[in-house]
Structure 1
Amino acid sequence: MKMVERVIVAGAGPVGAVMALALVKKGIPVLLLEADAEPREDQRAATVHPPTVAMLAELGLKDDAFETGLQSPIFHFRDRITGDLVAVFDVKVLEGEVEYPFVLQWEQYKLVRAVLKQLADSPLAEVRFSTKLMDLGQTDDKVEATVENQDGDTELFQARYIIGTDGGRSTVRRLAQIAFEGFTWPERFIKIGTRFDFIEAGTGYCTRNYFSDPDEWLNLFKVKADGEPGIWRGIFPVPAHEADEDAMSMDGVQRRLQKLYPKDGDYDIAYHALYAVHQRVAKTFNHGRVFLAGDSAHVNNPIGGMGMNGGIHDAMNLAQKLADVWFGRATPEVFDRYTRQRRKAQVDFVQAQSIQNKKSLEERDPAARQKTFENLRRVSEDIELHKKFLYRSSLFDSLNEANAVA
């Protein structure tokens, strides 16, 4: 095999890992590069929507996912001001219509670990950690990636194609000079993980909860972590005027949790992290022999859990098109269709829906808030509207409409 006869995947997060595995499953050699020395135990994404569960099962990840993930078919919308439960949605109403009628709460680092186990057994896969992409060039028949290895030495790798799955600050996207269009929210988000069990405490919460509050909306989900009692992950907004050190202080962390559910003594904190939040989409997802997928191609706020899912959908779409070209079933023009399809999924669905989700939760006008609540109740209580809502929020509509684009 010539050294050029492979695909380089830059970035071994969840999307890069899935991208590599999907290509290997189709018989395409892959070199997976990661700048970090080892897989990160990154606590960001955890929500896997039903169509994405099906994709992961197709890749042979079902056993790992079901063993270490938490099936969460039900989610609540709540009014944090009054404490009222506004609406309940249950993905199980789609049973018989979809293959996996539930959301799986499966932390992204567990997904990466599961994929790496499979790649280690494949003669078509090479994984290199502590390997930082420094430069990138392409010709008519190959790409050349200059990297710095763990010893600080420079190496040159060749391949037919390179795929940037290296996150929102993508080196691949920068080197390919692809614009990243959109905006950054003025507030930051803080994620706080606690081992306190909100269900055991009798709150009435389920494992996935959205709280509307004009002053401090909240998402609260449970993940399995390393086993019971699991970890509850709260995502809170941090206003622009609040200093990073105040938000990240233990007093600041405890204050947010105590405001959610006052209790005696401090909360047991598993982790907490503060980050800026963006809504951006790359101008193109393909540029010659260079491709983007996942956060390298698009980023959005996490309300609704759509970011990692959209990236995995990118990977599965692109893997099929690369295989078709690789094995002579299609011409490279099909890569333009990849951009058209996956940009539509992002712009028309994920970006629009995640922005609307945030605006709904933080709505300040009392009349507008009540109108939102009334609509949610009406939709949740009508089975056909309930299903329609789930098909959109679970990204079935996004996939179907994007895949129909010629």
Structure 2
Amino acid sequence: MSTNESHDTNFNSPRVLIIGAGPVGLFLALKLAQSGINSTIIEKEDSTSKLPRACGYAGIIQHEFVKVGIYDKIKEMGGFISVGPCWRKPLVDNDSGGKDLGEVVAKFKKSKPVDPSMPAGSGTLHFPQARLSEILLKEVISTCRVDVRFNSDLENIQDNLDDTVSITVKDLITGSSFSLSGTYLVGADGATSKTRKLLDIPFSGYTWDRKLIATDVLVYNQSGEESLHPTSFIMNDTHFGVITPLMQPKPDTRTLWRYTIGLPVNDPRSNDELLAPEHVESLYENYMPGPRPLDYEITNKSIYSIHQRLASTMRRDRVVLAGDSSHICNPFGGLGLNTGLLDAMALHDSLVMILKEGYSDEILDIYSDERRRSFQMFVDPMSTYNLLRIITQDAEKRTEEDWFFRALKNGNRRILKSLEKNSAENWATDMRAILRADENEMQL
């Protein structure tokens, strides 16, 4: 790993430049390295992010973790499987002066608990994004094919005439600038992507009129709490949200949880006011089950605006976008990071075909079109209605009238299978299958 003491690498071409050392950039670099392609990662922060962000991974991502060799490491570091979320009414007072979780109004029905051996794809994998980034960073360094440069800020992009792309980067420690060149540049630098802004790519969509406060908090688990559905969506018109474990919850022990709580419409208070200990505690009073007074320890907290936005293209000449730099959605349902990792999978396959197999880089247009289509057809509407379903004054009425909740409650296999089919057809992108289909179409 480089910390900017040297700006000349010994890597032979092809080399891919990646902006952003988040999980999408690191995951892409790892897959490229395992396919024999070198990369350099540029990251303006001094380390990977520790903020409370994504923490749930779908089966398709778990199988990919197995392929790249990190699934067992995730398990060793505390990752665990559950069958998925349930939806609840707000908390209720109990006879002991504390509060209990509200009534479950909908959940995914399973005939048996999760397999304790945790085979990939057997449920939802719980593991904090920050810990995933730690694993990925160690893995990419161990390949000896990835040069990671922290404290380095992208300043300029130049698409050259000699089939390369060059960037100017500022060393944030010394204040000096240096140049790097590569065959392609990947912008995986998040929702405020400088890559996207330098290319002047529109990022259309909207921002919700509510913010979220996300906290990682150590709490004591009461005996007898439901373990099969530890993730609970709390249905409320103001302080809606989700409670989900970051460590496998065990009764009568203290473990780490993520509490993500919605704030009132257009709340005028500053982030400092919203994150003040007395405000967070006031939210917990109506959101955290257990006896009173509350006993907890916050390890991390942050305020988030929530958006639904999509870049007008994910490819501009020799520069491509992936992850939040190209699309963002609200976090309810875990579609954000999972979609970014699916971008990385599709982009890896595209770059391997171009750099190792002689395909034209026109396939990057297909990558852009297909990943944008995935967001428009699946991620955006699914995440939007995931959130709208839980913002309600009357959870009972909402679950009686909404088709999705009725399908869960009634076990309607036809509707549930249609949801699985929608996910299978519109979420991931198999670039090789798409190219084969297009070639067959042209031959007809």
TM-score, normalising length: structure 2: 0.83
Aligned-pair CA distance for 1:290? 0.3
Residue identity over aligned pairs, in percent, reads 25
- Larger mean CA deviation between 269-278 and 371-380 belongs to 371-380
Identify the residue that residue 16 of structure 1 maps to in structure 2. 25
CA shift in 2, pair 1:33/1:222, >3 Å? same
Q: Distance in 1 between matches of 2:147 and 2:425?
A: 35
- One-letter amino acid of the counterpart of residue 301, structure 1: N
Structure 2 unaligned blocks of 5 or more: 1-9, 93-101, 439-444
| Residue 95 (structure 1) shift | 9.6
Q: Does 1:259 align with 2:286?
A: yes
Deviation, 1:277, is 1.1
Deviations 1:98-151 (A, max 9, x none): 951211111112111111222222232111111111111112411111001232
Q: Are the structure 2 counterparts of residues 204 and 290 from structure 1 closer, same or farther at C-alpha, using a change threshold of 3 Å?
A: closer
SS at match of 2:14: coil
Distance (whole Å) between structure 1 residues aligned to residue 339 and residue 110 of structure 2: 19
Among 124, 136, 147, the residue aligned to 2:145:
124
Q: Given the alignment, which residue of 255, 280, 283 partners 1:230?
A: 255
- Would you say the 8 A contact 1:76–1:205 is kept in 2? no
Aligned to 1:297: 326
Deviates more, 1:350-359 or 1:66-75: 66-75
Aligned to 1:66: 75
SS at 1:187 equivalent: strand
Correspondence 1:88 to 2:102: no
Q: In the alignment, what sits opposite 1:101?
A: 122
The 1:233–1:116 alpha-carbon spacing in structure 2 relative to 1, beyond 3 Å, is same
Q: CA RMSD in A?
A: 2.9
2:45 to 36, 41, 59: 36
CA apart distance, 1:62:
1.1
**Which residue matches 2:238?**
215
Q: Distance in 2 between matches of 1:210 and 1:397?
A: 26
The separation in 1 between residues aligned to 2:368 and 2:394, in whole angstroms, is 38
Cα separation, partners in 2 of 1:118 and 1:400, compared to 1, 3 Å: closer
Residue 66 of structure 2 corresponds to 57
The structure-2 alpha-carbon separation of the partners of 1:326 and 1:216, relative to structure 1 and needing over 3 Å to count, comes to same
SS in 1 for 2:427: helix
Letter in 2 for 1:6: R
Amino acid at match of 1:181: S
Using the alignment, how far apart are the partners of 1:205 and 1:383 within structure 2?
21
1:382 — aligned with what?
A: 411
Contact 1:257 1:267 in 2 (8 A): no
Report the secondary structure of 1:276's partner residue. Answer: strand
Distance (Å, rounded) in 1 between the aligned partners of 2:135 and 2:249: 15
Specify which of 174, 188, 191 is matched with residue 168 of structure 1: 191
Q: Residue 327 of structure 1: SS of its match in structure 2?
A: helix
Q: Distance in 2 between matches of 1:353 and 1:133?
A: 33
- What is the alpha-carbon distance in structure 2 between the residues aligned to residue 95 and residue 257 of structure 1? 29
TM-score by length of 1: 0.90
Task: Determine if contact 2:105/2:396 at 8 Å carries over to the other structure.
Answer: no
Evaluate the alpha carbon distance shift between residue 365 and residue 220 of structure 1 in structure 2; reply closer, same or farther with a 3 A threshold: closer
| CA–CA separation in structure 2 for the residues paired with 1:92 and 1:291 | 44
